[in-house]
């Protein structure tokens, strides 16, 4: 990509220099060039995205979606036609929930929503279920947005590149993050590990980011009960633990048919510091 702006048509995304990218039948655009890939299909697989969607559709994380809506809505008050991007959107559950929640606002202030993920499988799934959002396959470290073009950037349990977010966010914009609280998924972690350490209150990748200041943090904490092996494995597949545990530990989780645990997260707002 040359870095110039892209104009979207029903079938392509094209820049002023006639660099063009085809839009898939379901409408998403793949901007992840082959030389920027570290594997043939980077990111979570289609099977993992199906696990993720199956779990999220149970409503277990709906209070997190509500906290996201409250944080983002507060930052959009008084803005005309704002732009909101979910970086690391996966299969688009939280993105679509946010877009639908914001759709009741006045027409002149309804946001344009974008969902970006490195997983083509995730974006493909997202685009087939909601075509009113601009879905893009791209790296979070090389996002397809012009400088200072976004009012709000959302990051839900996703990697954060503070420098890249600062590049694309307006000076009066905000980064809204969802990160684990100290006790998040404690029941699952106790099955996996012999000793469980509380999660840090500030996401480690943001702790040293001097370009942002955390101005608000809402803790969302509540118990949930999983009553089937399928639900438990769906949850495992959408966590980093899925990649890190050995076969013996995975078998131990697979043998469970009941699990009590806590959802414990922080919905935080980070605002850019003055340049």
Residue pLDDT, tens place only, 39-91: 456 678 999 999 999 999 999 999 999 999 999 999 998 888 899 999 999 99
Q: Domain range spanning residue 201? A: 27-183+197-222+265-272
Question: CA 111 → CA 74, 79, 132, 193, distances in Å?
Answer: 13, 9, 11, 42
Is 78 among the domain residues?
yes
Please count the structural domains in the chain: 1
Is 227 among the domain residues?
no
Q: Which of 250, 164, 266 is nearest to 211 (CA)?
A: 164
Segment 33-53, tens digit of pLDDT: 654 445 456 678 999 999 999
Q: Which of 85, 88, 158 is nearest to 119 (CA)?
A: 88
The residue count for the chain: 275
Question: CA 129 → CA 23, 122, 226, distances in Å?
Answer: 16, 11, 26
Adjacent-strand bridge partners of 150: 169
Tell me the whole-structure pTM to 2 decimals: 0.90
Is 238 among the domain residues?
no
**Is the pLDDT score of 260 beyond 60?**
yes
181/173 Cα distance (integer angstroms)? 24
For residue 69, give the CATH number of its domain: 3.40.50.150
């Amino acid at each position: 990509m040359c870095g110039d702006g892209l104009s979207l048509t029903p079938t392509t995304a094209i820049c002023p220099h006639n660099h063009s990218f085809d839009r898939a039948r379901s409408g998403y655009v793949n901007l992840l060039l082959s030389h920027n890939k570290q594997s043939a299909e980077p990111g979570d697989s289609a099977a993992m995205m199906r696990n993720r969607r199956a779990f999220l559709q149970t409503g277990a994380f709906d209070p997190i979606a509500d906290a996201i809506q409250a944080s983002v809505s507060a930052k959009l008050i008084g803005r005309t036609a704002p732009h909101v991007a979910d970086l690391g959107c996966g299969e688009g559950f939280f993105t679509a929930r946010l877009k639908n929640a914001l759709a009741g606002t006045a027409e002149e202030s309804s946001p344009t929503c974008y969902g970006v993920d490195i997983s083509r499988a995730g974006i493909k799934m997202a685009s087939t279920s909601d075509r009113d959002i601009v879905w893009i396959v791209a790296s979070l470290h090389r996002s397809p947005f012009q400088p200072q073009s976004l009012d709000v950037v959302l990051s839900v349990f996703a990697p954060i590149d503070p420098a890249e977010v600062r590049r694309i966010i307006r000076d009066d914009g905000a980064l809204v993050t969802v990160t684990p609280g100290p006790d998040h998924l404690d029941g699952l972690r106790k099955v996996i590990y012999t000793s469980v350490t509380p999660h840090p209150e500030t996401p480690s990748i943001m702790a040293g980011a001097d370009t942002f200041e955390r101005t608000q943090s809402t803790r969302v904490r509540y118990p949930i009960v999983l009553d089937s092996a399928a639900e438990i494995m769906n949850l495992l597949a959408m966590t980093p633990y899925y990649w890190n545990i050995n076969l013996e530990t995975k078998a131990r989780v697979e043998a469970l048919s009941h699990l009590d645990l806590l959802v414990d997260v922080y919905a935080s707002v980070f605002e850019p510091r003055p340049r």
